[in-house]
Amino acid sequence: MQRKKHSAEFKAKVAIEAVKGLKTINEIATESEVHPTQITLWKKQLLEGVPTLFATNRGQKQKNEEELTATLYQQIGQLKVELDWVKKQCFA
């Protein structure tokens, strides 16, 4: 028997439904055609992962992106200079 592969969106939808508690895990399992144990695992993963959504250091992430952008612009400038030099050598 081959395992089903569910998308992250599907897992999140099912886990959120389980967290809401409006239906039992067994009802959700029947509707989504997933084993109740799997839904419980997804629910646990969701609840464990939620704090990290708000705990990320956005300032550090932005700083890293700015450093990467600066490095890339420097490389682009260097490549333009080299290309101009090669063009001069070939067409001079």
Residue 7 gets the label, from left (phi > 0), alpha (psi -120 to 50) or beta, of beta
Expressed as residue numbers, the domain containing 50 is: 1-55
4 versus 8: the higher-pLDDT residue is 8
Q: Do both 35 and 1 map to the same domain?
A: yes
Q: Do both 64 and 38 map to the same domain?
A: no
- Please compute the mean of the pLDDT values over residues 18-24 and round it to a whole number: 94
Q: Which residues contact 26 (CB under 8 A, 6 or more apart)?
A: 36
Q: Do both 18 and 38 map to the same domain?
A: yes
Q: State both tokens at 73.
A: 């612009």
Q: Do both 4 and 18 map to the same domain?
A: yes
Q: What is the pLDDT of residue 59?
A: 67
- Given a contact cutoff of 8 angstroms between Cβ atoms, the answer to whether 19 and 47 are in contact is yes
Q: What is the pLDDT of residues 23-81, one digit of tens each?
A: 999 999 999 999 999 999 999 999 998 887 776 666 677 788 899 999 999 999 999 99
Q: Do both 19 and 33 map to the same domain?
A: yes
User: How many domains are there within the chain?
Assistant: 2
